[in-house]
Chains A and B, each alone.
Chain A
Amino acid sequence: MMYKGSSRSGPRQTIVGDFLKPLNSKYGKVAPRWGTTPLMGVVMALFVMFLSIILEIYNSSVLLDRISMN
Chain B
Amino acid sequence: MGLPWYRVHTIVLNDLGCLLFVHIMHTALVAVIFYPSDHSYEGVAGAHILFSGLCFLAAIWHWVYWDLEIFCDNRIGKPSLDLPKIFEIHLFLSGVACFGFGAFHVIGLYGLGIWVSDPYGLTGKVQPVNLVGIASHHIAAGTLGILVGLFHLSVRPPQRLYKGLRKGNIEIVLSISIVVIFFAAFVVAETMWCGYFQQEIYQRVSAVLAENQSLLEAWCKIPEKLAFYDYIGNDPAKGGLFKMGSMDNGDGIAVGWLGHPIFRDKDERELFVHQGDKIVRADTPSKRAESNYSVKPVGVTAEFYYGELNGVSYSDPAIVKKYARHRATLKSDGVFRNSLRDWFTFGHASFALLFFFGHIWHGARTLFKDIFAGIDPNLDAQVEFGAF
Which A positions have Cβ atoms within 8 angstroms of B?
1, 10-14, 17-18, 20-21, 23-37, 70
A33-B158, A34-B158, A37-B158 given as contacts; is B168 within 8 A of A27 (CB)?
yes
> Is A70 touching B69 in the complex (CB atoms < 8 A)?
no
B330 to chain A, nearest CB (A): 29
- Give A69 to B203 CA distance when docked, in angstroms: 10
What 9 A-B pairs have minimum CB-CB distances, sorted nearest first? A35-B158, A17-B70, A30-B159, A11-B69, A13-B69, A27-B80, A11-B72, A27-B82, A30-B162
Contacts of B155 in A (CB 8 A): 31, 35-36
- Give A29 to B158 CA distance when docked, in angstroms: 9
Question: What are 16 A-B residue pairs whose CB atoms fall within 8 Å in the complex?
Answer: A12-B65, A12-B69, A17-B68, A21-B69, A23-B85, A24-B70, A24-B81, A24-B85, A27-B81, A28-B384, A30-B162, A31-B158, A34-B158, A35-B160, A35-B161, A37-B160
A27 partner, pick from B73, B160, B203, B206, beta carbons under 8 A: B73
Contacts of A20 in B (CB 8 A): 70
A1 partner, pick from B67, B161, B384, beta carbons under 8 A: B67
- Give A26 to B80 CA distance when docked, in angstroms: 10
Contact with A along B82-98 (1 / 0, CB 8 A): 10010001000000000
Residues facing A in B48-84 (CB within 8 A) are: 65, 67-73, 77, 80-82
> Is A70 touching B158 in the complex (CB atoms < 8 A)?
no
Q: Which residue of A lies closest to B78 (CB)?
A: A1
> Is A26 touching B158 in the complex (CB atoms < 8 A)?
no
Q: Which residue of A lies closest to B207 (CB)?
A: A70
Contacts of B161 in A (CB 8 A): 34-35, 37
Q: Which residue of A lies closest to B161 (CB)?
A: A37
B89 partner, pick from A21, A23, A30, A33, beta carbons under 8 A: A23
> Is B156 on the interface with A (CB-CB < 8 A)?
yes
Contacts of A25 in B (CB 8 A): 82
Q: Which residue of A lies closest to B157 (CB)?
A: A30
Q: Which residue of A lies closest to B17 (CB)?
A: A12
Contact with A along B194-233 (1 / 0, CB 8 A): 0000000001001100000000000000000000000000
- Give A21 to B221 CA distance when docked, in angstroms: 60
> Is A11 touching B158 in the complex (CB atoms < 8 A)?
no
A23-B85, A27-B73 given as contacts; is B158 within 8 A of A14 (CB)?
no
- Give A18 to B384 CA distance when docked, in angstroms: 28
> Is B157 touching A31 in the complex (CB atoms < 8 A)?
yes
A70 to chain B, nearest CB (A): 7
Q: A30-B159, A32-B159, A34-B160 are in contact. List 12 more A-B contacts (CB 8 A).
A: A10-B72, A11-B69, A11-B72, A12-B65, A13-B68, A21-B69, A24-B71, A24-B81, A30-B162, A33-B159, A34-B158, A35-B159
Contacts of B70 in A (CB 8 A): 14, 17-18, 20-21, 24
B178 to chain A, nearest CB (A): 21
- Give A17 to B67 CA distance when docked, in angstroms: 11
Residues facing A in B119-175 (CB within 8 A) are: 155-162, 168
Q: Which residue of B lies closest to A21 (CB)?
A: B70
> Is A30 touching B85 in the complex (CB atoms < 8 A)?
no
A39 to chain B, nearest CB (A): 9
Most B CB within 10 A of own CB, among A1, A31, A33: A31
Most A CB within 10 A of own CB, among B70, B72, B77: B70
A66 to chain B, nearest CB (A): 15
Q: Which residue of B lies closest to A23 (CB)?
A: B85
- Give A42 to B372 CA distance when docked, in angstroms: 34
> Is B82 touching A1 in the complex (CB atoms < 8 A)?
no
- Give A45 to B71 CA distance when docked, in angstroms: 37
A12 partner, pick from B68, B80, B158, beta carbons under 8 A: B68
- Give A11 to B89 CA distance when docked, in angstroms: 24
> Is A31 touching B156 in the complex (CB atoms < 8 A)?
yes
B69 partner, pick from A17, A31, A36, beta carbons under 8 A: A17
- Give A18 to B69 CA distance when docked, in angstroms: 8
Contacts of B203 in A (CB 8 A): 70
> Is A35 touching B157 in the complex (CB atoms < 8 A)?
yes
Q: Which residue of B lies closest to A8 (CB)?
A: B67
